[in-house]
Every structure is written in structure tokens, then in C-alpha cells.
Amino acid sequence: MSQPNEGQDRLDYQETADITEVHAAIAREHAEPSADVTPIPTWLSLVCAAALCWAGIYIGIFHGGFNPKVFNEYESNPSAFFPLPGNAVATSGGAAAELTQVQLGEKVYKEVCQACHQPTGLGQAGQFPPLAGSEWLDGSEYNEKRVVAIVLKGLKGPVTVKGGAFNGAMPGQEQALNPKKIAAVLTYVKQAWGNKGGEIAEAQVGAAKKEFADRTDQWTIEEIKKVPLDAKLEGAASPAAPAATQAKTETKPADAKPAASAPVVSTGTFDIAKSIANGKGIYGTTCTACHQPGGTGVPGAFPPFDGSEWVQGDPRRLVALVIKGYAGPITVKGQAFNNILIAVDTQFPVLKENTNLADVLNFIRNSWSNKSDVPVTPELVEKVRAEFKDRVEPWNAADMEKTFPAAK
């Protein structure tokens, strides 16, 4: 290799620096990048494997029953694996547990109650009664059982709280909150804002829930006052029981435990009891908000289901009404309403499923005092959908009259 300018300026020949230093400098340079495929380091694989295991275990524990309707962390049971401190709430013993219960109660209050009763607990004049300083909560007039009953089933009609008059409707929280949460939130409201009420145990709520199991309606003040004042949560007759049990006789497997008492009525292969039971859950997440848990509706705003001729009448008309919606004046049980029902499956995609729609309709047709001999089948829903597939606008009184003239 002959070089163009050999001699003085060739560093190689003239330099005096220790040659090993030059090598050291070269050695300090980074190695040429290599194009080899390097295997994932073992430690990284192990970390990934551990993360996957953790994810599996996490889902296993906190799956909430995989139920979209009730999903929340309290439904699953982490204590089966890990003794978390929060689980002390269930026992509601000692001081530490009490603190946790109040904290849980505060959380539930913020999630559920404060929208109406306000963060301050002061409510809203004329609309939502105050909880702060409420004589309903200090145990003097409305003992624990009465208050538990109110939160479970709701309350409607005229009431007086701290001298203020209210005439609203509080929805029952039984479907939304389990006994543990109800006990916690009541303990919280009985102690927050300077209130001097006591503590409510999960077991008390559980007992009350069982006792009032037959009741679907909200309480009125007269009814709630019939709940005896002595705080024992056992055997005492529920004022609603007679009415509710009467309504639940023979072919009315409407509520909770149809299998045990009510005969299972089958129409061909269609299991109406199963349909009603399934419909109950769907009702709780769809229609309840407007038509109310007891099917009572809200006077002037949302028509009732209980006793409604639309609900119990011609099933074809009922299906047509709910899948297309209804706008303008409508008379239900002799009361006039003038509002809008948006097609229910647009509001609630779960009802696009014919079976689900049939189930919720079977539930409202056979609950409270309602009774219908003809079940709504998924096939009927399908048929009515096809029949009115070209209709885009909601029903109105004139169209209904024209299309279903003979309907009673």
C-alpha cells in the first residue's frame, strides 16, 4: 500500500506516544453494530410471564361476576385470596372497622346520594329533603329499620323533614347497592354533618331486605310509620306484605323467587317464568329510571305500568309501541301525559335482542297488580319488527288508533 505523502507527517512513523494508548483509545470505541438476531433475555421473558399471571389472577378475583349490570369491585371476593383490611367492614366490629365503614359510606354517598341530597347534605328546598340535621336519621322518630327500609325501597309522597315540606320520589337503592354498601352509607349519613345517629350493620340491612322482599313499591309516609319503632329486625309484619302477597298469587311469578312458590306456566316451549325472572333484571337497568321500580311512573311526567292498559293489553301493540317510541298526548289509566318515549332499543342496545325485549315486557305485564295471559315471545317481537320496519317516526295517538283500532 503505497501512500502519497510518506515521511514527516505520517503519524505512524513519527509519533512517540505509547502505542498501547492508541490501542486503548480504539478499544474504547463502540463495537460495530451487529445484525444478529438477539434472543429475548431470559429475565424479560420471566417478567412478562409474571405480568400475564398477575393479570389472570387479577381478573379472576375482580371479575365482578362478569356481569355488566352489577359490575363493581365490591361484588367480587378478593378476601378469598387476600385478607384485605377493607373486609373488616363486613364484621363491623372494632374501631378500625368502623372507620373503614364510614369511608366506604362516604364514597357511596358521593356516587349515589349526593346528586339529590347534595354534597352538603342539605338537600334542595322543595325538591330533595336534607339529611344533615334530619330528624329521620337521629333515631328519635324513624328508627334504623325505617331508614333502612327507605333506602332499600325508596320513598314517595308528601313528607316533612326539618319543618320543610317535600313531595318527591326517591328511588329505592336495593338494586344498585348491596347490603354492605347500604349499611355503610347509612352509617355515614347518620354521622356526617354533625348528625348523631348510630351505626347500621350489614346484617341489619340483610334482614330488612329479606323481610321486605315482596315489596316492589316505594314507601309512603303512612306505610313507613307502620313499621314498628322497636328496632328489632325480625318477624314483624311488613305493612306492604298483605297487598304484595295477594298480588303475587297464582300465575303471577313476578318477583324474585318465582320458582319456589309460583307455578311455572309454560306456553309451548316458551318458559314464561324464566322470561319474567330475566326481564326483572333488565327492567332494573332500563325502564326503572323513568317508570320507577314499582312501575308507578311519575305523575305528570312518566306514565305508570302498574295497571296500564297499554302494558297489559294487546302484546302486538305493546311491542310496536316500545320499538318505535311514542310522542305526544297519551292516556294511561285515565291520566293524561304529553311527553316522549324514545324507541327503547335505541336507548338501550341490550333490547335489540328480541329475547331481552320480550323478557322485559313479560316482566312488566306480570308484575305489581298486572296480569297477562298471553306471553310476549321473541318470535312475536321479530314479527312486529318486520311488520313496522318502514315506520321511522314514533307513534302518536291518531296513528295508534288507526293501526290498532280494536285493541282494548
User: Which residue ranges make up the site for ligand HEC (CB under 6 A)?
Assistant: 112-113, 115-117, 128-131, 134, 136-137, 147, 150-151, 155-157, 159, 161, 166-171, 173, 185-186, 189, 286-287, 289-291, 302-305, 308, 310-311, 318, 321-322, 326-328, 330, 332, 337-341, 344, 347, 351, 360, 364
**Shortest distance, position 263 Cβ to ligand HEC, whole Å:** 25
In this structure, what C-alpha cell is assigned to residue 264?
Answer: 311455572
**Shortest distance, position 381 Cβ to ligand HEC, whole Å:** 12
- In angstroms, the CA 63 to CA 57 distance is 10
Instruction: Tell me the chain's radius of gyration from C-alpha atoms.
Output: 33
> Please, how many CA atoms are within 13 Å of residue 306, restricted to the half-sphere of its CB?
19
* 147 or 277: CB nearest ligand HEC: 147
**Shortest distance, position 359 Cβ to ligand HEC, whole Å:** 10
* 94 or 163: CB nearest ligand HEC: 163
Residues 6+ apart with CB under 8 A from 31: none
Q: Which of 107, 148, 157, 105 is nearest to 129 (CA)?
A: 157
**Shortest distance, position 166 Cβ to ligand HEC, whole Å:** 4
* 60 or 300: CB nearest ligand HEC: 300
**Shortest distance, position 370 Cβ to ligand HEC, whole Å:** 10
170 C-beta neighbours (distance < 10 Å), count: 20
* 61 or 385: CB nearest ligand HEC: 385
Q: DSSP letter at 124? A: B
* 127 or 266: CB nearest ligand HEC: 127
Residues 6+ apart with CB under 8 A from 365: 311, 312, 315, 318, 371, 372, 376
| CA dist list (Å): 239 to 20, 146, 190, 214, 364 | 102, 12, 25, 11, 23
* 150 or 265: CB nearest ligand HEC: 150
**Shortest distance, position 150 Cβ to ligand HEC, whole Å:** 5
Positions of E strands within 265-363: 266-267, 270-271, 326-332, 335-341
